Amino acid sequence: MKAVVLDAHDVLFDGVVSAVTLPGVGGEKTFMDHHESLFLVLTKGTIFLQSMVRRVEASGKAPESQAVKIRRGVARMRRNELVILVE
């Protein structure tokens, strides 16, 4: 699925992922391919973006996920695209 993480000034992430875990008001919520359409209010925490394709970096390690710390935000899942607006 496609995931985009935006703040007021930058695109923090834009790419294809296999899963995204978000810090929601009622607890963590994980979105995967073809998840139902949903809006989610986000709280302070960390967004984990699970890589779709493993690539080997210069260190020889294949990063499996990327983390983005947030204070709050909202997320919308629709048509296999997750758009996350954060602060």
Per residue in 40-77, pLDDT (tens digit) is 999 999 999 998 765 555 555 545 789 999 999 999 99
The answer, yes or no, to whether residue 17 has pLDDT greater than 60, is: yes
For the chain, domains (ranges, CATH) are 2-86 (2.60.15.10)
The predicted structure's pLDDT at residue 58? 55
Question: Residue 59's pLDDT is what?
Answer: 56
78 has which bridge partners?
81
Least confidently predicted of 17-26, 31-40, 53-62: 53-62
Instruction: Give the model's pLDDT for residue 56.
Output: 52
